[in-house]
Amino acid sequence: MKKQLFVLASLTFGVLTSTAQEVKFEEYKLDNGMHVILHKDNSAPVVTTSVMYHVGAKDENPERTGFAHFFEHLLFEGTKNIQRGDWFKIVAANGGQNNANTTDDRTYYYEVFPSNNLELGLWLESERLMHPVINQIGVDTQNEVVKEEKRLRVDNQPYGNLLAEVKERLFIKHPYKGTTIGKLEHLDAATLEEFKAFNKKYYIPNNAVLVVAGDIDIASTKKMIKDYFGPIQKGEPIVRNLPQEDPITQPLTGTAYDSNIQIPAVIAAYRTPSFKSRDAYVLDMISTYLSGGKSSVLYKKLVDEQKQALAVQAVNISQEDYGIYALFALPLGEVSLETLVAEMDEEIVKLKSDLISEKDYQKLQNIAENNFVSSNSSISGVANSLARYYMLYGNTNLINTEIDIIRSITREDIKAVANKYLNPNQRLILEYLPKKDDK
């Protein structure tokens, strides 16, 4: 009897270790429709407060691109109770850090504080949502700042316009055809009323998720959340009716120029499904197989053995509605761009006709497990994942179960997905060339 007990205890222990990294969380909705997710981890005196809004570049009026990203700047300008210019000061003066970012799908704001400033973090985020001050001074100032950001991050960067050139050609109808940063002339032309209307439409509690993660006490945190976010008015439900793309059936080609580069690049880009689909996970695996690490197929062949490429990368840039699967290479020396494409295609063809080896398959699983474990290594990372899985994937618990999807992918799946999406008549070949001074 005693012996049996011991076995049972070690069994339980075994179960505990394998789920040791499970991210526990609790989620609920406020009366105004705001979704709340709480994650308690008292191992360090640190807390993250964050809000993700379901508004991104794809929600913009095509004549007013750049609005979503512009708001990421504008909503630091101040609120009814926070003077213009005080936001960053308050955060820093209380030992915190904060930032925000925008994609085509959503906008995300967060603060990280020592845990005795949890209430401050909630106050800041509730102020931003409840009554931000949107006036001409703020718009004018941030307009200049955004222009500098574009020059810095895009126009002055080697290969900085590459993704924009790909998107513009791969998407015809869907707003993913534009860039997140948008067109500067649209921002210049926008009126204050338009900015206010955008805020009224998208910055509403029923379009947002609040995450509080870290060194918290659940009961008192819930009360504070109710106090600060409860009084915020619900908004009109948002109806999205974005145009669907027709399938690509004929090969697309294009040429783009960049004055910041000396070495040309070639991109083979395919339109792929949303990151919500299982196929997107398979495409991620194919990327790892092709270019993740020094033993990957394309790196080993083009960079290492045949010395044809300076760099080669396969990426699956997946978003809420569609994804882009892109193969990218920089030639070494006199190697032509056509040669690079042909060499890359050869490996795609193998993927489509043969199963990858058992060993390669096990490698992909090991890499995926490592990534999965590492993705939960910081509290602010966990907060971001919880918000993303809830808002864009519609399943918060993916933070724990995504690994099961990955484990369920078979070698046959990899072959089938390659056949489904990676076909020459479904893609764009873009030559991205140095711009000569006289062009």
Minimum gap (Å) between residue 339 Cβ and other proteins = 16
- Pick from 1, 5, 20, 239 the residue near other proteins by CB under 8 A: 20
Map the footprint of other proteins across residues 243-282, applying CB under 8 A: 259-263
For strands 107-114 and 97-102, give the pairing.
Answer: antiparallel
Q: Which is nearer to other proteins, 255 or 362 (CB)?
A: 362
- Cβ 298 vs Cβ 291: under 8 Å: yes
Least distance (Å) between residue 196 CB and other proteins: 21
∠334-338-341 over CA atoms, to 5°? 115
The radius of gyration of the chain's CA atoms, rounded to the nearest angstrom, is: 24
Closest alpha carbon to 48 in 58, 38, 60? 38
Q: Minimum Å distance from CB 291 to other proteins?
A: 11
The interface with other proteins within residues 65-104 (CB under 8 A) comprises 81-82, 85, 88-90, 92-97
Q: How far is the CB of 205 from other proteins (least distance, A)?
A: 15
Minimum CB distance to other proteins smaller for 424 or for 434: 434
Chain mean position to CA 88:
24
Strand partners, 434: 258
Q: Kindly tell me which of 143 and 274 has the beta carbon lying closer to other proteins.
A: 143
Helical packing angle, 411-421 and 278-291, nearest 10°: 90
Among 177, 222, 234, 300, indicate the residue that binds other proteins (CB under 8 A). Answer: 300
CB of 195 to other proteins, least distance (A): 17
Nearer to other proteins, 107 or 296 (CB): 296
The span of 172-180, 296-304, 387-395, 423-431 binding other proteins (CB under 8 A) equals: 296-304
Q: 322: burial class by Cβ within 10 Å (0-12, 13-18, 19+)?
A: buried
For residues 393 and 390, what is the distance between their CA atoms, to the nearest angstrom? 6
27, 149, 194, 245: residue in contact with other proteins (rule CB under 8 A): 149
Straight-line distance from the first to the last Cα atom of the chain, in angstroms, rounded to the nearest whole number: 86
* Residue of 332, 403, 405, 416 that binds other proteins (CB under 8 A): 332
User: Closest approach of Cβ 241 to other proteins, in Å?
Assistant: 35
Of 63 and 227, nearer to other proteins (C-beta) is 227
Using CB under 8 A, pick the residue from 65, 102, 126, 199 that binds other proteins: 126
According to the binding rule CB under 8 A, does residue 376 interact with other proteins?
Answer: yes
User: What are residue 257's DSSP bridge partners?
Assistant: 433
Q: At its nearest, how many Å lie between other proteins and the CB of residue 357? A: 11
The Cα 248–Cα 116 span in angstroms is 54
Q: Which of 8, 22, 45, 238 binds other proteins (CB under 8 A)?
A: 45
CA atoms within 13 A on the CB side of 233: 6
Structure tokens given for 244: 């669907």
Which member of 184, 310, 403, 416 binds other proteins (CB under 8 A)?
Answer: 310
Q: Which of 63, 236, 304, 338 binds other proteins (CB under 8 A)?
A: 304
Whether the CB-CB separation of 308 and 302 falls below 8 Å is answered with yes
Q: DSSP letter string over 81-108? A: TB-TT-HHHHHHHTT-EEEEEE-SS-EE
Q: Could you say which residues in the range 127-146 bind other proteins, by CB under 8 A?
A: 127, 130, 140-141, 143-145
For residues 60 and 66, give the distance between their C-alpha atoms in angstroms, rounded to a whole number.
8
Rounded-to-integer distance, Cα 215 and Cα 86, Å: 26
Report 378-437 residues binding other proteins (CB under 8 A). Answer: 378-379, 437
Per-position DSSP letters for 225-272, written without gaps between them: HHHHHTTSPP-PPP---PPPPPPP-S-EEEEEEETT-SS-EEEEEEEE
Nearest to 327 by CA among 339, 316, 336: 316
User: Under the criterion CB under 8 A, does residue 12 sit at the interface with other proteins?
Assistant: no
Residue span binding other proteins (CB under 8 A) among the ranges 53-61, 64-72, 124-132, 270-278: 124-132
Within 153-212, which residues bind other proteins (CB under 8 A)?
A: 153, 155-156, 158
Minimal distance, residue 409 CB to other proteins, in Å: 15
Instruction: Select the residue interacting with other proteins from 2, 3, 294, 439 (CB under 8 A).
Output: 294
- Our CB check for other proteins shows the closer of 2 and 294 to be 294
Q: Burial of 376 by CB count in 10 Å (0-12 exposed, 13-18 middle, 19+ buried)? A: middle
Query: Interface residues for other proteins in 345-374 (CB under 8 A)?
Result: 359, 362-363, 365-371, 373-374
CB nearer other proteins, residue 93 or residue 238: 93
Q: Return the biggest CA–CA distance within the chain.
A: 88
